[in-house]
Structure 1
Amino acid sequence: MVISCLTLPVVASSKAELNATVKETLSGLYDESPAARTLGKEAKGILVFPKIIKGGLFVGGEYGEGALLINQQVVDYYNTASASVGLQLGAQVRSQIVMFMTHEALETFRNSKGWEAGVDGSIAIAEFGVGETIATNTVQEPIIAFISDNKGLMYNLTLEGTKMTKIDK
Protein backbone atom coordinates (compact mmCIF):
# COMPACT_ATOMS: atom_id res chain seq x y z
CA MET A 1 0.00 0.00 0.00
CA VAL A 2 1.36 3.43 -0.96
CA ILE A 3 0.64 6.47 1.18
CA SER A 4 1.27 9.76 -0.57
CA CYS A 5 2.04 12.98 1.20
CA LEU A 6 0.28 16.22 0.46
CA THR A 7 1.70 17.79 -2.66
CA LEU A 8 2.99 21.31 -2.71
CA PRO A 9 2.70 23.73 -5.61
CA VAL A 10 5.71 23.92 -7.91
CA VAL A 11 5.07 27.46 -9.15
CA ALA A 12 3.38 30.37 -7.42
CA SER A 13 1.47 33.23 -8.98
CA SER A 14 2.51 35.40 -11.87
CA LYS A 15 5.19 38.04 -11.37
CA ALA A 16 2.59 40.83 -11.06
CA GLU A 17 0.48 38.87 -8.56
CA LEU A 18 3.55 37.96 -6.52
CA ASN A 19 4.72 41.58 -6.43
CA ALA A 20 1.29 42.70 -5.22
CA THR A 21 1.05 40.06 -2.48
CA VAL A 22 4.63 40.79 -1.35
CA LYS A 23 3.79 44.47 -0.82
CA GLU A 24 0.45 43.59 0.82
CA THR A 25 2.13 41.13 3.22
CA LEU A 26 4.79 43.65 4.23
CA SER A 27 2.17 46.36 4.72
CA GLY A 28 0.15 43.96 6.92
CA LEU A 29 3.20 43.31 9.11
CA TYR A 30 3.80 47.04 9.49
CA ASP A 31 0.15 47.63 10.42
CA GLU A 32 0.36 44.90 13.05
CA SER A 33 3.74 45.94 14.46
CA PRO A 34 5.03 49.52 14.42
CA ALA A 35 8.33 48.12 15.76
CA ALA A 36 8.65 46.01 12.60
CA ARG A 37 8.03 49.13 10.51
CA THR A 38 10.90 50.87 12.29
CA LEU A 39 13.20 47.90 11.65
CA GLY A 40 12.06 47.78 8.03
CA LYS A 41 13.23 51.36 7.52
CA GLU A 42 16.71 50.37 8.78
CA ALA A 43 16.92 47.07 6.87
CA LYS A 44 19.31 46.87 3.93
CA GLY A 45 17.03 44.32 2.26
CA ILE A 46 13.72 42.59 3.02
CA LEU A 47 12.81 39.12 1.73
CA VAL A 48 9.04 38.54 1.73
CA PHE A 49 7.32 35.17 1.27
CA PRO A 50 3.57 35.96 1.27
CA LYS A 51 2.43 32.34 1.31
CA ILE A 52 4.42 29.31 2.42
CA ILE A 53 2.44 26.09 2.31
CA LYS A 54 3.49 23.31 4.66
CA GLY A 55 1.93 19.87 4.64
CA GLY A 56 2.66 16.32 5.43
CA LEU A 57 1.61 12.81 6.20
CA PHE A 58 4.64 11.19 7.90
CA VAL A 59 6.86 12.90 5.30
CA GLY A 60 6.34 16.62 5.02
CA GLY A 61 7.55 19.63 3.19
CA GLU A 62 7.00 23.29 2.68
CA TYR A 63 7.33 25.61 -0.27
CA GLY A 64 6.75 29.26 -1.06
CA GLU A 65 7.86 31.96 -3.47
CA GLY A 66 8.70 35.54 -2.66
CA ALA A 67 10.70 38.59 -3.55
CA LEU A 68 13.69 40.50 -2.22
CA LEU A 69 13.11 44.22 -1.79
CA ILE A 70 15.92 46.76 -1.61
CA ASN A 71 14.90 50.39 -1.14
CA GLN A 72 11.27 49.22 -1.44
CA GLN A 73 11.85 47.88 -4.96
CA VAL A 74 11.74 44.22 -6.04
CA VAL A 75 15.24 43.20 -7.17
CA ASP A 76 15.11 39.38 -7.20
CA TYR A 77 12.75 36.44 -6.69
CA TYR A 78 13.34 33.45 -4.39
CA ASN A 79 11.73 30.24 -3.30
CA THR A 80 11.92 28.66 0.13
CA ALA A 81 11.70 24.94 0.70
CA SER A 82 12.29 22.38 3.40
CA ALA A 83 11.46 18.77 4.11
CA SER A 84 10.81 16.84 7.30
CA VAL A 85 10.26 13.26 8.39
CA GLY A 86 8.41 12.15 11.49
CA LEU A 87 4.96 12.03 13.02
CA GLN A 88 3.01 14.75 11.22
CA LEU A 89 -0.37 15.15 9.61
CA GLY A 90 -1.98 18.24 8.19
CA ALA A 91 -1.32 21.47 6.38
CA GLN A 92 -0.53 25.06 7.29
CA VAL A 93 -0.14 28.34 5.43
CA ARG A 94 2.03 31.13 6.78
CA SER A 95 3.89 34.26 5.71
CA GLN A 96 7.54 34.92 6.37
CA ILE A 97 9.45 38.19 6.22
CA VAL A 98 13.24 38.23 6.61
CA MET A 99 15.03 41.52 7.21
CA PHE A 100 18.73 41.82 6.48
CA MET A 101 19.98 44.49 8.85
CA THR A 102 23.58 44.73 7.60
CA HIS A 103 25.09 45.04 4.13
CA GLU A 104 27.30 42.02 4.90
CA ALA A 105 24.34 39.76 5.74
CA LEU A 106 22.48 40.89 2.62
CA GLU A 107 25.47 40.38 0.31
CA THR A 108 26.23 36.94 1.76
CA PHE A 109 22.61 35.96 1.07
CA ARG A 110 22.54 37.42 -2.45
CA ASN A 111 25.86 35.83 -3.45
CA SER A 112 24.87 32.33 -2.34
CA LYS A 113 23.69 29.65 -4.78
CA GLY A 114 21.21 28.35 -2.21
CA TRP A 115 21.19 29.90 1.24
CA GLU A 116 20.30 27.61 4.16
CA ALA A 117 19.08 29.07 7.43
CA GLY A 118 21.16 27.90 10.35
CA VAL A 119 24.05 26.86 8.09
CA ASP A 120 24.83 29.89 5.93
CA GLY A 121 23.39 32.38 8.40
CA SER A 122 21.52 32.51 11.66
CA ILE A 123 18.07 34.08 11.65
CA ALA A 124 16.67 35.59 14.84
CA ILE A 125 12.90 35.16 15.06
CA ALA A 126 11.39 38.45 16.27
CA GLU A 127 10.39 38.27 19.92
CA PHE A 128 8.13 40.92 21.37
CA GLY A 129 8.23 42.44 24.83
CA VAL A 130 5.96 44.79 26.73
CA GLY A 131 4.00 47.14 24.46
CA GLU A 132 4.83 45.08 21.36
CA THR A 133 8.41 46.34 21.27
CA ILE A 134 10.94 43.95 19.82
CA ALA A 135 13.37 42.47 22.35
CA THR A 136 16.71 44.29 22.45
CA ASN A 137 18.74 41.14 21.80
CA THR A 138 16.70 40.48 18.62
CA VAL A 139 17.16 44.02 17.26
CA GLN A 140 20.95 43.61 17.38
CA GLU A 141 20.97 40.53 15.12
CA PRO A 142 22.06 40.88 11.46
CA ILE A 143 19.06 38.86 10.15
CA ILE A 144 15.60 39.09 11.73
CA ALA A 145 12.49 37.14 10.67
CA PHE A 146 8.80 37.70 11.28
CA ILE A 147 6.43 34.77 10.82
CA SER A 148 2.66 35.09 10.72
CA ASP A 149 -0.43 33.11 9.90
CA ASN A 150 -4.06 34.12 9.65
CA LYS A 151 -4.14 34.55 13.45
CA GLY A 152 -1.26 37.05 13.61
CA LEU A 153 2.43 36.98 14.45
CA MET A 154 3.82 33.63 15.58
CA TYR A 155 6.59 33.09 18.12
CA ASN A 156 9.09 30.39 19.12
CA LEU A 157 9.56 28.94 15.66
CA THR A 158 12.76 28.01 13.91
CA LEU A 159 13.76 28.34 10.29
CA GLU A 160 16.84 26.11 10.54
CA GLY A 161 17.09 23.74 7.60
CA THR A 162 15.05 26.01 5.35
CA LYS A 163 16.73 26.63 2.01
CA MET A 164 16.16 29.81 0.03
CA THR A 165 17.14 29.85 -3.64
CA LYS A 166 17.05 32.58 -6.29
CA ILE A 167 14.60 31.86 -9.12
CA ASP A 168 13.62 33.44 -12.44
CA LYS A 169 10.12 34.87 -12.56
Structure 2
Amino acid sequence: MKKLGILSALLILFVGTSLQAQNEKDQKIIADAEVAMKSMIAEDQGLEDFFSESAGYVIFPNVGKGGLIVGGASGNGVVYENGSVVGMADLKKLDIGLQAGGQAISEVIFFEDEAALADFKQGEFEFSAQASAVVVKSGKAENAQYKDGVAVFAMPKAGLMAEAAVGGQKFSFKPIQ
Protein backbone atom coordinates (compact mmCIF):
# COMPACT_ATOMS: atom_id res chain seq x y z
CA MET A 1 0.00 0.00 0.00
CA LYS A 2 2.88 2.33 0.80
CA LYS A 3 4.40 1.66 -2.65
CA LEU A 4 1.07 2.53 -4.28
CA GLY A 5 0.99 5.83 -2.36
CA ILE A 6 4.54 6.69 -3.45
CA LEU A 7 3.75 5.77 -7.06
CA SER A 8 0.62 7.92 -6.97
CA ALA A 9 2.56 10.86 -5.54
CA LEU A 10 5.24 10.52 -8.23
CA LEU A 11 2.60 10.33 -10.95
CA ILE A 12 0.87 13.47 -9.67
CA LEU A 13 4.23 15.26 -9.43
CA PHE A 14 5.18 14.18 -12.99
CA VAL A 15 1.83 15.22 -14.51
CA GLY A 16 1.84 18.52 -12.62
CA THR A 17 5.39 19.28 -13.74
CA SER A 18 4.53 18.43 -17.37
CA LEU A 19 1.50 20.73 -17.31
CA GLN A 20 3.54 23.54 -15.77
CA ALA A 21 6.31 23.09 -18.37
CA GLN A 22 3.73 23.20 -21.16
CA ASN A 23 2.24 26.38 -19.72
CA GLU A 24 5.69 27.96 -19.41
CA LYS A 25 6.49 26.99 -23.01
CA ASP A 26 3.20 28.47 -24.23
CA GLN A 27 3.81 31.63 -22.20
CA LYS A 28 7.23 32.03 -23.83
CA ILE A 29 5.73 31.60 -27.31
CA ILE A 30 2.99 34.14 -26.47
CA ALA A 31 5.61 36.64 -25.26
CA ASP A 32 7.69 36.04 -28.43
CA ALA A 33 4.55 36.53 -30.58
CA GLU A 34 3.88 39.91 -28.96
CA VAL A 35 7.47 40.99 -29.69
CA ALA A 36 7.17 39.74 -33.29
CA MET A 37 3.90 41.67 -33.76
CA LYS A 38 5.50 44.90 -32.52
CA SER A 39 8.57 44.35 -34.74
CA MET A 40 6.41 43.73 -37.82
CA ILE A 41 4.30 46.85 -37.19
CA ALA A 42 7.45 48.91 -36.61
CA GLU A 43 8.78 47.67 -39.96
CA ASP A 44 5.49 48.27 -41.83
CA GLN A 45 2.78 50.48 -40.29
CA GLY A 46 0.24 49.14 -42.82
CA LEU A 47 0.06 45.88 -40.83
CA GLU A 48 -1.84 47.69 -38.05
CA ASP A 49 -4.97 47.58 -40.24
CA PHE A 50 -4.63 43.82 -40.71
CA PHE A 51 -4.17 43.26 -36.97
CA SER A 52 -7.18 45.42 -36.07
CA GLU A 53 -9.59 44.46 -38.88
CA SER A 54 -9.05 40.72 -39.38
CA ALA A 55 -11.34 38.14 -37.76
CA GLY A 56 -8.23 36.55 -36.30
CA TYR A 57 -4.60 35.79 -36.92
CA VAL A 58 -1.84 33.40 -35.98
CA ILE A 59 1.68 34.59 -35.26
CA PHE A 60 4.61 32.20 -35.58
CA PRO A 61 7.41 34.25 -33.96
CA ASN A 62 10.23 31.78 -34.63
CA VAL A 63 10.03 29.64 -37.74
CA GLY A 64 13.20 27.78 -38.64
CA LYS A 65 13.62 26.63 -42.20
CA GLY A 66 16.42 25.00 -44.06
CA GLY A 67 17.22 22.68 -46.86
CA LEU A 68 19.49 21.29 -49.50
CA ILE A 69 17.27 19.99 -52.35
CA VAL A 70 14.76 18.67 -49.76
CA GLY A 71 13.78 21.29 -47.22
CA GLY A 72 11.52 21.84 -44.32
CA ALA A 73 10.35 24.34 -41.77
CA SER A 74 8.66 24.25 -38.41
CA GLY A 75 7.49 26.62 -35.75
CA ASN A 76 5.07 27.20 -32.89
CA GLY A 77 2.58 30.02 -32.84
CA VAL A 78 -0.26 31.79 -31.08
CA VAL A 79 -3.80 32.05 -32.44
CA TYR A 80 -5.74 35.24 -31.76
CA GLU A 81 -9.45 35.87 -32.27
CA ASN A 82 -10.70 39.45 -31.95
CA GLY A 83 -7.32 40.36 -30.44
CA SER A 84 -7.43 37.72 -27.66
CA VAL A 85 -5.36 34.53 -27.41
CA VAL A 86 -7.57 31.49 -28.11
CA GLY A 87 -5.00 28.78 -28.77
CA MET A 88 -1.61 27.55 -29.85
CA ALA A 89 -0.58 26.33 -33.30
CA ASP A 90 2.15 24.31 -34.98
CA LEU A 91 3.49 24.84 -38.48
CA LYS A 92 5.18 22.12 -40.53
CA LYS A 93 6.45 22.49 -44.07
CA LEU A 94 8.13 20.06 -46.41
CA ASP A 95 9.25 20.95 -49.91
CA ILE A 96 11.47 19.73 -52.68
CA GLY A 97 13.32 21.68 -55.33
CA LEU A 98 16.30 23.91 -55.86
CA GLN A 99 17.19 25.27 -52.42
CA ALA A 100 20.13 25.67 -50.11
CA GLY A 101 20.67 27.35 -46.77
CA GLY A 102 18.88 28.07 -43.54
CA GLN A 103 16.80 30.94 -42.26
CA ALA A 104 14.80 32.11 -39.25
CA ILE A 105 11.63 34.09 -39.90
CA SER A 106 8.54 35.37 -38.15
CA GLU A 107 5.29 34.64 -39.97
CA VAL A 108 1.76 35.94 -39.45
CA ILE A 109 -1.38 34.64 -41.14
CA PHE A 110 -4.44 36.90 -41.11
CA PHE A 111 -7.94 35.47 -41.50
CA GLU A 112 -10.33 37.77 -43.33
CA ASP A 113 -13.51 36.33 -41.84
CA GLU A 114 -14.84 33.91 -39.22
CA ALA A 115 -15.13 31.09 -41.80
CA ALA A 116 -11.41 31.18 -42.66
CA LEU A 117 -10.51 31.27 -38.95
CA ALA A 118 -12.90 28.39 -38.22
CA ASP A 119 -11.27 26.30 -40.99
CA PHE A 120 -7.87 26.88 -39.35
CA LYS A 121 -9.14 25.99 -35.88
CA GLN A 122 -10.78 22.79 -37.18
CA GLY A 123 -7.55 21.62 -38.80
CA GLU A 124 -8.95 22.04 -42.30
CA PHE A 125 -6.32 24.54 -43.33
CA GLU A 126 -3.13 24.16 -45.31
CA PHE A 127 -1.24 26.13 -47.91
CA SER A 128 -0.64 24.77 -51.35
CA ALA A 129 2.58 25.19 -53.27
CA GLN A 130 1.17 28.30 -54.93
CA ALA A 131 0.73 30.24 -51.68
CA SER A 132 3.28 32.92 -50.96
CA ALA A 133 3.96 35.41 -48.22
CA VAL A 134 4.50 39.13 -48.53
CA VAL A 135 7.87 40.06 -47.06
CA VAL A 136 7.44 42.64 -44.32
CA LYS A 137 8.95 45.90 -45.60
CA SER A 138 7.76 49.45 -45.20
CA GLY A 139 4.76 50.15 -47.42
CA LYS A 140 4.18 46.59 -48.66
CA ALA A 141 1.13 45.92 -46.45
CA GLU A 142 -0.80 48.83 -47.97
CA ASN A 143 -1.17 47.00 -51.27
CA ALA A 144 -1.50 43.48 -49.86
CA GLN A 145 -4.84 41.75 -50.20
CA TYR A 146 -6.52 38.65 -48.87
CA LYS A 147 -6.49 35.62 -51.14
CA ASP A 148 -8.99 32.86 -50.38
CA GLY A 149 -9.67 34.48 -47.01
CA VAL A 150 -6.05 34.75 -45.83
CA ALA A 151 -3.11 37.14 -46.07
CA VAL A 152 0.38 36.01 -45.09
CA PHE A 153 3.37 38.12 -44.12
CA ALA A 154 6.89 36.96 -43.27
CA MET A 155 9.76 38.88 -41.71
CA PRO A 156 13.29 37.48 -42.03
CA LYS A 157 15.17 37.39 -38.74
CA ALA A 158 18.47 35.69 -39.54
CA GLY A 159 20.22 33.54 -42.11
CA LEU A 160 20.08 33.32 -45.85
CA MET A 161 18.24 30.88 -48.02
CA ALA A 162 17.90 30.65 -51.77
CA GLU A 163 14.97 28.57 -52.97
CA ALA A 164 12.82 27.74 -55.94
CA ALA A 165 10.91 24.90 -54.36
CA VAL A 166 7.47 23.31 -54.42
CA GLY A 167 5.78 22.37 -51.18
CA GLY A 168 3.06 23.24 -48.75
CA GLN A 169 2.47 24.16 -45.14
CA LYS A 170 0.28 22.20 -42.72
CA PHE A 171 -0.96 23.48 -39.40
CA SER A 172 -2.41 22.14 -36.18
CA PHE A 173 -4.44 24.02 -33.57
CA LYS A 174 -4.80 23.45 -29.84
CA PRO A 175 -7.29 25.63 -27.92
CA ILE A 176 -6.16 27.23 -24.66
CA GLN A 177 -7.88 25.57 -21.72
Question: How does the TM-score come out when normalised to structure 2?
Answer: 0.70
Deviation (angstroms), 1:123: 5.5
Question: What 5-or-longer segments of structure 1 have no aligned partner?
Answer: 1-10, 152-156
* Alignment partner of 1:117 out of 111, 124, 127: 127
Aligned to 1:135: 143
Give the Å deviation of 1:129.
10
Q: 1 or 2, which has the higher helix percentage?
A: 2
State the Cα deviation string for residues 126-169 of structure 1 (Å, max 9, x = none).
47999555226x15762111111137xxxxx9996111112478
| Alignment correspondent of 1:46 | 57
Q: Which one-letter code corresponds to 1:117 in the other structure?
A: F
* Matched-pair contact (CA < 8 Å) for 1:96–1:145: yes
Rg comparison, structure with higher value: 2
**Alpha-carbon shift at residue 32 of structure 1 (Å):** 1.5
Query: Could you list the per-position Cα deviations for residues 86-115 of structure 1 after superposition, in whole angstroms to 9, with x for gaps in the alignment?
Result: 443321111100111111111122122x52
> Given the superposition, is the C-alpha separation of residues 72 and 51 from structure 1 closer, same or farther in structure 2, using an over 3 Å criterion?
same
**Partner of 2:157 in structure 1?**
150
Q: Determine the structure 2 residue equivalent to 1:15.
A: 26
Pairing partner for 2:117 from 97, 106, 122: 106
Q: Does 1:81 align with 2:88?
A: no
Structure with more of its chain in strand, by fraction: 2
Q: Percent identity?
A: 22
- 1:16, 1:116 → 2: CA distance? 25
Distance in 2, matches of 1:130 and 1:93, equals: 20
Question: Residue 123 of structure 1 contacts residue 144 of structure 1 at CA under 8 Å; is this kept in 2?
Answer: no
| 8 Å CA contact retained: 2:96, 2:167 | no
| Equivalent residue number for residue 173 of structure 2 | 166
Whether contact under 8 Å (1:124, 1:141) holds in the other structure is no
- 1:6 maps to what in 2? none
- Amino acid in the other structure paired with 2:48: R
Q: Find the aligned partners of 1:50 and 1:15 in 2 and give their Cα distance.
A: 12
TM-score where L is the length of structure 1: 0.73
Superposed CA deviations along residues 15-54 of structure 1, whole A, max 9, x for unmatched, are 1111100111111111221211012110110100001101
RMSD (CA atoms): 3.3
